[in-house]
Amino acid sequence: MSDVEGRLEKLENRVGELEDINAIRRLHWAYGYYIDFNKAADVAQLFAEDGEVTFLSGVFKGHEGIFRLYGTWFQNLFLENGGEGPVDGFLLDHFQMQDIITVAPDRQTAKGRFRGMLFGGSHESREWKPEGLPLQFMEAGIYENDYVREGDVWKIKRLDYMMQWQGDYEAGWSKTVSHLQPLTECYPDNPIGPDYLLDEKDIRKTWPSRQDVPMHFAHPKFGALLLGQELKQ
């Protein structure tokens, strides 16, 4: 019986881990759909109360900072007079894929790596067009995120998006310099700025510069030895 009980306990833990992975995958995919249409309030609720976003070498902290990024900044950048989409003639579709999710042994925290692709821009018939935004553009980046369980619900603890490249659709990435550049000024001096900037040595230059995005997971050959230690860091 002790052998049966042990096997059942392992199976229960494995099933629970798989449920966690699916819940985190659903959480991140929901994030992608919400940012498609600039639903800033819905995005903020996906984060823990002390959650944060690292974007363009700036860190936006807590629900207030997260809403400043997705609401005050993005809603007013992409949509005339702010607000939510969808808006006729405006495209901002985010594709979230290639996820690798690693749940901690106690199932209270997790890490996830996703690849994101973005297609955006405006139809030529749209009267109002975002200033400084190409008419048609493509973008790709990598997420290395932290997640935390709040009660029975998984939330985003830290979302770290590292943009890898941008390309004007007509010219392609071979003839494009990123229209997004690292942030240089914090809130409140910059009303849409981050709460603080990364250290100078950690500043992430944008396309055509390239930088490594460290993986939270170990190579499969060594994972059994290193997994526990990595998740504690």
- The pLDDT assigned to 6 comes to 80
Where does the chain show beta strands of DSSP type E? 47-55, 58-61, 90-103, 109-122, 136-150, 153-168, 196-197
| Res. 201: pLDDT tops 60 | yes
| Virtual torsion, Cα 78, 80, 81, 87, nearest 10 deg | -80
Q: Per residue in 214-230, pLDDT tens?
A: 999 877 766 555 555 55
Q: Per residue in 141-197, pLDDT tens?
A: 999 999 999 999 999 999 999 999 999 999 999 999 999 999 999 999 999 999 999
Tell me the pLDDT band of 233, cut-offs 50, 70 and 90: low
The distance of Cα 138 from the centroid of its chain, to the nearest Å, equals 16
CA atoms within 13 A on the CB side of 168: 12
Over range 99-108, report the average pLDDT.
Answer: 95
Q: In angstroms, rounded to a whole number, what is the distance separating the alpha carbons of residues 81 and 231?
A: 43
Q: In angstroms, rounded to a whole number, what is the distance separating the alpha carbons of residues 141 and 157?
A: 19
Report the candidate in 36, 82, 45, 76 with the shortest Cα–Cα distance to residue 63: 45
Residue type for position 206: T
Domains identified in the chain and CATH numbers: 2-232 (3.10.450.50)
- The pLDDT assigned to 81 comes to 87
pTM, rounded to two decimals = 0.89
